[in-house]
Chains A and B, each alone.
Chain A
Amino acid sequence: MRLEARGLTVGRGGLPVLADLSFAVEAGHALILRGPNGSGKTTLLRTLAGLQRAYAGEVSPGSDAIAYGGHRDGMKGQLTVAENLSFWARLHGLRDITPALRAFALERLDDRQAQHLSAGQARRLGLARLLVTGRPIWCLDEPTVSLDAENTGRFADMVRAHLGDGGIAVIATHIDLGLQGDTLDVQRFRATLEAFG
């Protein structure tokens, strides 16, 4: 397993944001995206996940191998924690949600409705969803927002375990998670308007 982007140009609303981006991430490694607000980290992650089309260049493997975790968790307030997780698990052809609950210490919250969770607990639920997708590549957009230090540690452990199993993670974050892998400063690939007329 290897995530590779060649000559990738991504953009929003018809305007290129990042141009001619090339990188490769080997199995067991993480790629940390850095850059100021609005520099194109989210756009890049959404393009990798197949939610947007690349303006140029290509990504391999395809989006079927990629699990995307954005700013919003996609969890339904009226469903319980366990119901939310099993829905996504079954949609991805998996059944067992216990490892995912355990990874973020959600076992005791499993029959609580998601609307009664705190922001941090909801985030933990959103991140636990990654484990029930069974996909090797994770594209995460600011995953540690509203997590406390303890749960940030849990998250780092979860990513480390995923990398240990030969997975790959591409993470846009502003904090240091202590993961093995490279850092990519997206600012360097800022698209210039002249290049696109």
Chain B
Amino acid sequence: MIRLILRDLALAVRAGGGFGLGLAFFLIVTVLVPFGVGPETARLAPIAPGVLWIAALLACLLSLDRIFAIDREDGALDLLATAPVPLEGVTLAKAAAHWLTTGLPLSLAAAPLGVLLGMPWPGHLWLTVSLLVGTPALSLIGAFGAALTVGLKRGGLLMSLLVLPLYIPTLVFGADVARRGADGLDPGTPLALLGAVTLGCVAGLPFAAAAALRTSLR
């Protein structure tokens, strides 16, 4: 499994792997917000947690359809399915590699962007924490959506429609952690619920995604 994560990381950072695309998208969307709603801190600061979370979510969505589609096209998925690694492990490894190349860089880049949108301290800290805790769920739900649509031509759009509604709990709790942090309130409760969503995804979704992959291989 570690091998698979390392291979996916190597593929992502080499030419044409798409590493950094999600991050650049996240940056641009966030920079566009002040142009759209106006540059006053009084207006930007209250919406900053929500905006940053939605931008992170969309940036994450951008690279999801690559998780399994490329491996299916070049036949590697067949070989992985016959390798002595359970498909559940393959899905978990793929989701982990996706998180390391998108979720983790997004979480780290979010704090400076929070400053850009005028978020008050210690909002940036809680924003980063909420993204670190919440983005693994985005990658896992995304891997499940990618597994469901892997056999379809142009399945990316359908996958977005399937996956975005499933992102709602993570978005609600994640943005709430950042908002409470910025307002100086205790973010403990939404953070616990956010963590619960992520842990639930880790526990259940690899099995669901592996079942979807088996069906599509047949």
Q: Report A's interface with B, CB cutoff 8 A.
A: 46, 49-53, 63-64, 66-68, 70-76, 78-79, 83, 87-88, 90-93, 129, 133
The B contact surface, by secondary structure, is: helix
Knowing A87-B3, A91-B3, the reply to whether A66 touches B82 (Cβ < 8 A) is: yes
- Bound Cα distance A66, B84 (Å): 10
Assuming A49-B82, A50-B82, A70-B78, is B14 touching A78 (CB within 8 A)? yes
Across the interface, do A52 and B74 meet the contact criterion of CB distance under 8 Å? Answer: no
Chain A CB within 10 Å, residue with most, of B17, B71, B81 = B81
If A75-B74, A76-B7 are given as contacts, then 14 extra A-B residue pairs at C-beta distance below 8 Å, sorted by A number, are: A68-B78, A68-B79, A70-B75, A70-B79, A78-B14, A79-B7, A79-B10, A79-B11, A79-B14, A87-B3, A90-B3, A91-B3, A91-B85, A133-B83
Q: Which residues of B contact A51 (CB under 8 A)?
A: 78, 81-82, 217-218
Q: How far is the CA of A67 from the CA of B19 in the complex (A)?
A: 32
Identify which of A66, A76, A90 gathers the most chain B CB atoms within 10 Å of its CB: A76
Cβ of B76 under 8 Å from chain A: yes
Contact with A along B1-25 (1 / 0, CB 8 A): 0011001001100111100000000
Are B82's CB and A68's CB within 8 A?
yes
Cβ-defined contact, A72 with B4, below 8 A:
no
Name 12 A/B residue pairs within 8 A (Cβ), A-sorted.
A64-B84, A70-B79, A73-B74, A74-B74, A74-B75, A74-B80, A75-B76, A76-B74, A78-B10, A78-B11, A88-B83, A91-B80
Report, as a range, how many residues of chain B touch the other chain.
Answer: 20 to 34
Choose among A46, A75, A91 the residue that contacts B83 (Cβ–Cβ < 8 A).
Answer: A91
What residues of B have a CB within 8 angstroms of the CB of A129 in the complex? 79
Q: CB-CB contacts of B69-106 with A at 8 A, as 1s and 0s?
A: 00101111111111111000000000000000000000
Name the distance in Å between B127's Cβ and chain A's nearest Cβ: 34
Interface centre among A51, A52, A75, A129 (most CB of B within 10 A): A51
A67 touches B3 (CB 8 A): no
Give A104 to B217 CA distance when docked, in angstroms.
Answer: 30
Q: Which 5 pairs of residues, A with B, have the shortest CB-CB distance?
A: A72-B75, A74-B76, A78-B14, A74-B75, A74-B79
Residues of chain A within 8 A of B14, CB atoms compared: 78-79
B82 proximity list for chain A (CB < 8 A): 49-51, 63, 66-68
- Complex formed: what's the CA distance from A74 to B82 in Å? 12
> Residues of A contacting B4 with CB < 8 Å?
91
Partner of A91, one of B15, B71, B74, B84: B84
Q: From B79, which residue of chain A is reached at the shortest CB distance?
A: A74
